[in-house]
Amino acid sequence: MSDEPLTVVIPCGGAGTRLASVVGRTPKVLVPIGGRPLLAHLFDAFASAGIQRVVLLAGSGGAEVEAAAQSMAPSGVQAETIIEPEPLGTAGALAIVGDRLPERFFLTFGDLYAAIDWNRLWQFALARGGLGTLFVHRSSHPEDSDVLALSDDKRVTGWSRRGEHRGVGAALSNAAVGVFHRDVLQRIPRGRACDLTGEVLPALVDARAPLFGYVSSEYVCDMGTPARLSSVDEAVSSGRATLRAEMLLLDRDGVITEDSVTRPEDLRLLPGAADSIRQLREARIRVSVVTNQAIVARGSCTEATLDAIHERLRELLDREGAGVDGIYVCPHHPETHHPEGVPELRGPCRCRKPSTGLAEQALTEQGIPAWRTLVVGDTTVDAQLAHNASLACAVVGTGHGGSDGRHPATATWRFSGLPAVSSWVLGEES
């Protein structure tokens, strides 16, 4: 496999009827975004990621796509265009090139703007194995989307087709980007048109085939309607699309500060934390703190003292030109059998992580889409919170370093600390 070139397949044979009023007969993969064809943006991203081969599966307008691909392909990237003999659907077109594909390959649809870290997606997929890894994010409209269920270890365990989802609360949707093993092609029906996301992948999940979900806050958005095209164009032109998240929900102890404290004067920032937060906020990324502080329920600290600790946190950050948009605190403790502390704060609640109350409050108050939100913590409590809320998560090596073992959920990414997270979110580190 090491000798096989990194390959991405782009099904782009759709007629684009919904965009015809805006772009005429231009193939969707050639529609201008931020003043350049979508395909030019994709080629730049592929070249930066070391992807050496791009296979376009075209339909009507295939000759135009082929000519454009040959002229746009950067040095080191081989572009191939396969024109389907008749409309075959996204899976049917994929089946006809199966013998030309490497053991594993990327796939992204030709009406998607995907500004993602392709290398991290690839490494995640290789580590999980199976038939494929799907890029997923929290759905903003689960009532009319395909909705996926993931286990704590990111295996896809359920697929509700559009209109079938009856759950309440957060839900994950498939973004039509992923990494697949060539064996998935054997599951595609032959001799007829067939859709990958509408038929093949749900059937694989129903059959309990090994598929995994890569939960991300990166910008992936389809531009298949005039309204969505306008939205994508704005995100690209403004630079928002290049940010790998638009809001971070940070745990406090072990991410921003050293150990938990009961006095304001004992609070210490971790090296680089303030500078990281400053850089994020300068890029207009929202940063909020989401923290469990059971020291109040235990009686180790009063609520007034905890408020003073957080005023101290704001003061230390302000000195470095940083700051946070919100601080969301759970003062409760779930155990009720201890006599000490504050009885009314002992017992179950919705706000104590990994319950989702604080995260949902932050999402509501900060006004950033959930699918563009990243949870950052140093324990599996934060990973489990992200899983429960259908949010992306990064665990850092500071503090507990994710080694506490209290919950089974896993994070999508691991970083050395908040400075590394910040650099990655800003697109400065891949």
> Using CB atoms within 10 A of its CB, is residue 390 exposed (0-12), middle (13-18) or buried (19+)?
buried
Quote the CA–CA distance of 229 and 33 in Å, as a whole number: 8
How far, CA to CA in Å, does 415 sit from each of 18, 125, 398, 401?
Answer: 41, 18, 9, 9
253 noted as active-site residue: yes
Active-site annotation holds for 44: no
Burial readout 187-211 (b: 16 or more C-beta within 10 A, e: otherwise)? bbeeeeebebbebbbbebbeeebeb
Active-site residue, selected from the candidate residues 251, 325, 382, 404: 251
Q: Could you give the 3-state DSSP secondary structure of residue 308?
A: helix
Cα 93 → chain centroid: 27
Whole-number Å distance between alpha carbons of 361 and 383: 18
**From the candidates 253, 259, 275, 307, which is the catalytic residue?**
253
Q: What is the DSSP string of 319-382?
A: HTT---SEEEEE--BS--S--SS-GGGBS--SSSTTSSHHHHHHHHHH---GGGEEEEESSHHH
Give the Cα separation of 43 and 53 in Å (integer).
10
Give the active site residues. Answer: 251, 253
